[in-house]
Structure 1
Amino acid sequence: MWYFACKAVNTNSSSILKPKHLLLALVTVIAWGLNFIAIHIGLEKLPPILLCTARFALTALPWVFFLPRPKAPFKLIVGYGIFTFAIQFGLLFGGMYLGLPAGLSSLVIQVQVFFSIGLAALIFGDVPSVWKVFGALISFIGIGIVASHVDGNTTFIGLALTLLSALSWATGNIFSKKIAAKSPVALVAWGSLVATPVMLTVSYIFEGPELIMHSIRGLTAETIIAVLYIVYLSSFVGYGIWGFLLNTYPTAVVTPFTLLVPVVGLLSAAFFLGEELSSWKLIACVFIMAGLVFNLLEKQIRALASRRTSVG
């Protein structure tokens, strides 16, 4: 995967993925969708901040000794590590730990797309189009549906933390854009190195040494496999393939595949964890996904609309 991420060159201007690259895109989508199942399993034995610490430590070490540091000011790498990893995953894991089911978490976190658009408008002056604003409004109707169904199984605090996690991810995207790393895997490793001592300190202060030691002593094979999945399949393999695809094809060709991540997340949560696919969850999914479609496929939708107008 490191070879893909570091050596890929933008030599393919095709708007259609080759079959082998389509397979790689689907592998990444499935890996990221199933990642929420792995997080759920990990949280059964480990408190959320300690699980984050384990993830970042294994993602950073020993790989930072083999992957060159991205050529950017270190303060930008620190900002990326804090927002993209420490805060984002601390809040996401905390949200799931405090009551937002794995399937819904995989769906709600996708609104980071719209937070990214809003922050880009504020910081870079990238004013969003009417289509993007419309897409955001549609998606947040779905979030409103989720919020209206908070109960013992789907908590408001879990939803709130996951939304803040999405905002932190969007903030990290701003740092990522400024860094413009040639190797996304190297950036992941170095960002994780920044996040590791931060999360270890937070875990020690808020979760306490007694709970940390008790959790470590209670580790099971299932928990260890879940942590390894989160680190290697979701982080290294996922980001490695994704970086290769983005460097090989136009961004507009690759990014729509992220629409499949919450689909995999919801279906796998229902299959593996027995989460109920109630009607309100499906309706919320339709709204959130429809908004994402408007955002990611804006050019195609505008072209279709203009063709229909010219025909009419």
Structure 2
Amino acid sequence: MTAPGPLALAPATADALARWLEVEAATRDRSAHTITAYRADLLAFLGFLGGHHGRPATPASLAGLRQTDMRAFAAAERARGFGARSLARRQSAVRSFLRWLSDREGYDLSAALSARSPKYARSLPRPLSPDQARDALDMVASGHDTPWVAARDVAVMTLLWGCGLRISEALALDGADWPFREALTITGKGGRQRQVPVLAVARDAVATYLAQCPWRLAVDQPLFRGVRGGRLDAGAVAAALRRARAALGLPQTATPHALRHSFATHLLAAGGDLRTIQELLGHASLSTTQVYTGVDDAHLMAVYRAAHPRG
């Protein structure tokens, strides 16, 4: 079954979907990528209902949804090859839309909303060891025929490992952000801002890249440039690290994002506390940081007891 397009929807349903997406973007600070994913999730769901019931889904017909409908949708998605994690994410978007619709229209959708999402094992991140991270950056430094490109890739990866930035955050930096001060103001997921201290090694790596970059640095232009002068794409950085890990025999989990994991894990091993690491990473919850660093419950409780005034 192919994903339906917007024309497969009843006008009232298309309007409801558009309004919900506007609310999500405006009130919950959803990124454009998230809104696009939500739209695809709901088009798949509403398109399925149209075929399942033999008529386009309308807000009124959605009021009669039952658990059996949700289970049938889940079964259809599994048959299309969706794994448990992807299906859980898709069902989460569907439930959010249905909750919004029930509040807006006064529908009782408790039966449909009570359907359980599939369970899946959350894969733990696999950070690089300090030696592996250093070796990877050294390999990247000599892994490209064009010196300024190699210096650029090293600078980006140093920001990931040395400052814990997401790759999207590093590539969003502009000329106005340079020269780096003691800390960078980073706007992360959900529009949350945080202050990230900048290590001298990261500042030096960026300075080395800029000294070789053929493109003039301008306040309104990207700090990290692609070979044609536009904003650097994350795929180019991933390719550089992919070549390095192949040369070093590192596992496939050695990705740019693994460098961010490594930042958190190495900081914790050096005595950093989880709350500080949470703030540096820009996580909304401590539980995310716990998973990110591979911290067990015993360590988490030790941090809690040390921090709580009655601990």
The TM-score, its normalising length taken from structure 2, stands at 0.30
| Larger CA Rg, structure 1 vs 2 | 2
Q: Which has the higher contact order (CA 8 A, sep 6+)?
A: 1
More helix by share: 1
